[in-house]
Amino acid sequence: MKNLIATSLKYQNAELYILDQRHLPHQSQWHKVENDDQLIAHIKSLAIRGAPLIGIAAAIWIGHLAEQGANQQTLLHSLEKLRASRPTAVNLMNYLDRLKAAITAGHLAEKVSQISINIFEEDIQLCRKMAQHGAELVKPNAKILTHCNTGSLATAGVGTAIGVITTAHQQNKNIQVWVDETRPLLQGGRLTAWEMEQAGVAYKIICDSMAACLMAQGEVDMILVGADRIAANGDFANKVGTYSLAVLAHYHNVPFYVVAPSTTVDPACPNGQSIPIEQRDPNEIKGINAAFGSVSWSPEKAAVYNPAFDVTPAKLVTGWILESGVYNQNDIQTGVLKTL
């Protein structure tokens, strides 16, 4: 395959490398992927993360294996192992299904590797179109709140919600961004803050629990978040804490938008109750394991509930920003997501 370069993933000289996002913003460590289990470990540990990028990385790896001469049985085995690595993010399943169809039909090597390249390049265009649609909704001097990380670290392109933010910034709209720290793994405080600095966007980090008082003070003009899976009725799963923001936004009359490509839509999933929610390691709540070391602050035997995602009902969403346009409540009720 040809070389493919993104912010946190690169395929160069027939080798796949991922940027370890656990060590950002202070360290940039690249890991070479040498086998299925290694890539799966990187995905599960969140060394590589973001619904689009997880799917892209898996697709490139399958394309690489095909180009290296792996047979049909080997490719299908690797594909199914990767499918199980993150149950909520549907981009992974969508991309692997495209590859599986080609593999099952006996189209190996060139066909499979080309599909992998297409997936990477398509995501860049999906991000660009979402960013353009979303930026049209951003008013000058807007104060925007965002949750988790949805930028170029999580995609092959400029990102989803952060793509909208950086595009609005490039349009000289003089925006300010409130960055939820995003407990328990601080993807906002570490990764989104880093991306805001890289783009030159004015921002301030807040604890997740500060969002309510900011909205009450009129300091939030709109909320932009990403998604890991959107059901056919518009319900969607995103990093845990998103649902809380949607409820607060509804109460304070703050526009609340979800930004995601059509590859995040699951037409076969009828509603949010049908979205599988990944349960994470209890130690992520009881302490922290990061580049600086490990810290534990809870009793050793403390019980933990640690879902990676929560589900936001469609009725709390102002609009769904996809590469094909911005959809409102009426659009969703007519079943537009089922046709994507």
Q: Report the alpha-carbon distance of residue 268 to residue 264 in Å, rounded.
A: 12
> Residue for token digits 């992520």?
284
Q: Report the alpha-carbon distance of residue 184 to residue 133 in Å, rounded.
A: 31
Q: Cα–chain-centroid distance for residue 306? A: 18
Q: Exposed (0-12), middle (13-18) or buried (19+): which is 290, by Cβ within 10 Å?
A: middle
Residue 311: CB atoms within 10 Å: 22
Residue among 36, 228, 266, 310 flagged as catalytic: 228
As a whole number of Å, the end-to-end CA separation of the chain is 29
Q: Does the annotation count 228 as an active-site position? A: yes
In order of 109, 201, 295, 302, 305, the CA distances from 286 in angstroms are 45, 33, 9, 8, 10
Contact 30, 13 (CB under 8 A): no
Residues with active-site annotation: 228
